[in-house]
Amino acid sequence: MFEEDVYDAASEQEEDDLSSTYLTLDLAGQMLGIEVRYVREILDRQRITLLPNAPMEVLGVVDVRGLSVPILDIKSKLAMSGGDTGADARIVVLELVIDGETCTLGIEADRVRNVEQIGRDAIEPIPSRGLRGWDARVLEGLYRRDTDLVVLINLGRLLGDTGADLDLSAGAGFF
């Protein structure tokens, strides 16, 4: 009996290694997926306090239970424009470990959709033929969901440098 329990636990671990859990969201008219392990919480949209002299990728900060959380503009980091920040818009609060330190950051989403378990075998590689000079390192791959394609983002690569360099105490260096 004990051996069966060990076997089941091992096969469950194997299954976890073959899939990841993603939060799917809309951003600038596209459906994106980010790994749930980075998501701390999802907030209703609220007023973002602008910070004079902040780096361009920082939209401002929001209050999350007494903590000022910087909101990053990932639309610009992903070279996306547009999108509707209407009634369905949310702020996704993330926690990333950068250089051994936990950083709490937020991003805006036009809409949060679902949490989905996506098998590694269901993730297609990003096409590279005919796309010279394009840096796709921040992309994990593509996932087909019904008739839609979900672009899976690697937040560690996308925000890693930004989070490590993000020091709002010094401003952007103009004063």
Domain boundaries, the chain: 19-166
pLDDT over threshold 80, residue 163: no
Task: Give the pLDDT band of residue 144 (cuts 50, 70, 90).
Answer: very high
Report pTM.
Answer: 0.80
- With 60 as the cut, is the pLDDT of residue 160 above it? yes
- Of 138, 91, 134, 131, the C-alpha closest to 110 is 91
Let me know how many helices (H) and strands (E) the chain has, helices first: 3, 11
19-166 has which CATH code?
Answer: 2.40.50.180
If one counts every other C-beta atom within 10 angstroms of the C-beta of residue 99, the result is 8
